[in-house]
C-alpha cells in the first residue's frame, strides 16, 4: 500500500469536511484545531519529523494512546479534556474511512476502537442568590465595571454558556416585542429567553450610552472586540476577591463563568420548574443532562426524605461468615 501524507488529508478535513459539509460552529472547529496542533507538536518531538512530512501511518493506536497519556501527565489535562481530544481524532479517522475506503491503513482505522476513559462525574457547583448578589454588587461604576455587571447578570438571568454571551451582537440583545435575548448555542441552535426588567433596563442603558451599532459586539473589550474567555476569567477572579470581605461564604468555591449557568438551573429547579423545561431553557440536547441538577440539590433530597419515615422492622440476626468470607471482608 502506498504511503499517504497526513498534511493534505488534514487540510481537506478542516477546509471541506468541518467547515462546508458539517458546518460546525467556530468553537468546535477551534477545539479540533487545538487537538491537532497538540498532536503534531507531540509527534514532531517524539518522532523528530516535521509535521508537514508525517505519513498518515503515524496516526495509529499506540501513538494516540501515548499522546493521550502525554496530555494527562505532562500537560495535566483532566479526563474530560482527554476524551474531547480523542473525540476529535475519532472524527478525523471516520472521515478518512469514508473518503479513502479500503485504502485507509488498517492501523489508522484501529484508532476508532480506542475507548473513552471513564471518569467520575463531579458535583455541579452553584451559588446561592445571596452570593450571586454579592458578586454583582462588587462591580464598580467604571466602564469596565458596568460592562462586567451586565455580563454576569446576563449569565445568571439566562443560564447561557459563556460562548453564547460573548458572541452576542447588539441586534441579538433585545427583542422589543418580547423583551428577550436570542442565543446561538451548540450545533448552531437558536433559543430566545426572556429577561428580567432589571436586565432589560441595564441593556438599554448600556447600548445607548456606548452608541453601539446593531452589528457591534454587545460586550466588547476596550478595543471594541468581543471579550475573550481568558479576559472574563480574569475579571471574575478580581470580582470574587472584592466580594469576599462582604460575603465570606464565597471562600472555597471554585467560581467560573459556568457557575452562573449552574446557579440559574439550580434556582429554577428549586422554584419548582420541571427538569424538562429547564433542559429547553439551557439548550441541553438531552434532559438527562438536566437531571444532574436534581442529583446535586441536597435540600430537595432532604425534603423528599422527610416524606418517608424510617422502617421499624425486626432486628436481623447476625451470622458470622466463614474464614474465606472474613478474609474478603477485611480486604
Assess if residue 283 is contained within a domain.
Answer: no
Out of 86, 113, 140, pick the residue that ends a domain.
113
What does each C-alpha distance from 103 to 3, 143, 249 come to in angstroms?
10, 59, 60
Cα–Cα dist 41/47, whole Å: 10
Q: By percentage, how much of the chain surpasses pLDDT 70?
A: 82
Active site residues per annotation: 161, 186, 258, 261, 284, 293
Give the chain's count of helices (H) and strands (E): 16, 2
Name the pTM for this structure. 0.69
Claim to verify: residue 108 and residue 223 sit in the same structural domain: no
Instruction: For residue range 124-176, list pLDDT tens digits in order.
Output: 678 999 999 999 999 999 999 999 999 999 999 999 999 999 999 998 876 65
pLDDT of the residue at 279: 86
> Average of pLDDT values for 316-329?
63
Q: Which range marks the domain in which residue 32 is found? A: 6-113
Out of 241, 256, 271, pick the residue that ends a domain.
256
Instruction: For residue range 188-246, list pLDDT tens digits in order.
Output: 788 889 999 999 999 999 999 999 888 999 999 999 999 999 999 999 999 999 999 99
pLDDT band at 2 (very low <50, low <70, confident <90, very high): low
> Average of pLDDT values for 283-310?
59
Claim to verify: residue 243 and residue 152 sit in the same structural domain: yes
Cell numbers linked to 114: 480506542
Claim to verify: residue 135 and residue 105 sit in the same structural domain: no
Q: What is the DSSP letter of 7?
A: H
Domain tally for the chain?
2
Assess if residue 156 is contained within a domain.
Answer: yes
Compute the CA torsion angle 13, 16, 19, 20 (nearest 10 deg): -140
Out of 113, 145, 161, pick the residue that ends a domain.
113
Cell numbers linked to 38: 497538540
Assess if residue 220 is contained within a domain.
Answer: yes
Assess if residue 315 is contained within a domain.
Answer: no
Claim to verify: residue 163 and residue 214 sit in the same structural domain: yes
Assess if residue 316 is contained within a domain.
Answer: no
Assess if residue 62 is contained within a domain.
Answer: yes
Claim to verify: residue 48 and residue 84 sit in the same structural domain: yes
Claim to verify: residue 104 and residue 139 sit in the same structural domain: no
Instruction: For residue range 80-112, list pLDDT tens digits in order.
Output: 999 999 999 999 999 999 989 999 999 999 999
Amino acid at each position: 500500500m502506498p504511503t499517504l501524507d497526513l498534511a493534505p488529508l488534514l487540510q481537506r478535513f478542516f477546509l471541506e469536511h468541518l467547515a462546508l459539509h458539517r458546518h460546525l460552529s467556530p468553537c468546535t472547529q477551534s477545539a479540533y484545531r487545538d487537538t491537532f496542533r497538540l498532536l503534531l507538536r507531540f509527534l514532531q518531538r517524539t518522532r523528530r519529523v516535521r509535521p508537514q512530512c508525517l505519513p498518515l501511518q503515524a496516526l495509529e493506536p499506540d501513538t494516540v494512546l501515548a499522546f493521550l497519556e502525554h496530555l494527562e501527565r505532562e500537560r495535566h489535562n483532566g479526563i474530560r479534556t482527554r476524551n474531547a481530544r480523542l473525540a476529535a481524532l475519532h472524527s478525523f479517522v471516520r472521515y478518512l474511512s469514508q473518503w479513502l475506503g479500503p485504502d485507509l491503513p488498517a492501523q489508522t482505522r484501529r484508532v476508532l476502537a480506542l475507548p473513552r476513559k471513564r471518569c467520575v462525574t463531579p458535583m455541579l457547583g452553584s451559588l446561592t442568590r445571596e452570593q450571586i448578589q454579592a458578586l454583582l454588587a462588587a462591580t464598580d461604576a467604571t466602564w469596565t465595571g458596568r460592562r462586567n455587571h451586565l455580563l454576569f447578570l446576563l449569565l445568571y438571568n439566562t443560564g447561557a454558556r459563556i460562548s453564547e454571551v460573548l458572541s452576542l451582537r447588539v441586534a441579538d440583545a433585545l427583542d422589543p416585542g418580547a423583551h428577550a435575548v436570542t442565543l446561538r448555542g451548540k450545533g448552531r441552535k437558536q433559543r430566545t429567553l426572556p429577561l428580567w426588567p432589571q436586565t432589560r433596563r441595564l441593556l438599554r442603558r448600556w447600548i445607548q450610552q456606548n452608541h453601539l451599532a446593531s452589528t457591534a459586539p454587545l460586550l466588547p473589550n476596550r478595543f471594541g472586540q468581543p471579550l475573550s474567555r481568558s479576559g472574563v476569567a480574569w475579571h471574575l477572579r478580581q470580582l470574587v476577591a472584592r466580594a469576599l470581605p462582604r460575603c465570606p461564604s464565597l471562600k472555597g468555591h471554585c467560581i467560573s463563568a459556568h457557575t452562573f449557568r449552574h446557579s440559574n438551573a439550580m434556582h429554577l429547579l428549586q422554584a419548582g420548574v420541571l427538569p424538562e423545561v429547564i433542559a429547553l431553557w439551557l439548550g441541553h440536547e438531552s434532559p438527562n443532562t438536566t437531571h444532574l441538577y436534581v442529583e446535586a440539590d441536597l435540600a430537595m433530597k432532604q425534603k423528599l426524605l422527610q416524606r418517608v419515615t424510617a422502617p421499624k422492622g425486626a432486628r436481623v440476626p447476625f451470622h458470622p461468615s466463614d474464614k474465606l468470607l472474613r478474609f474478603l471482608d477485611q480486604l
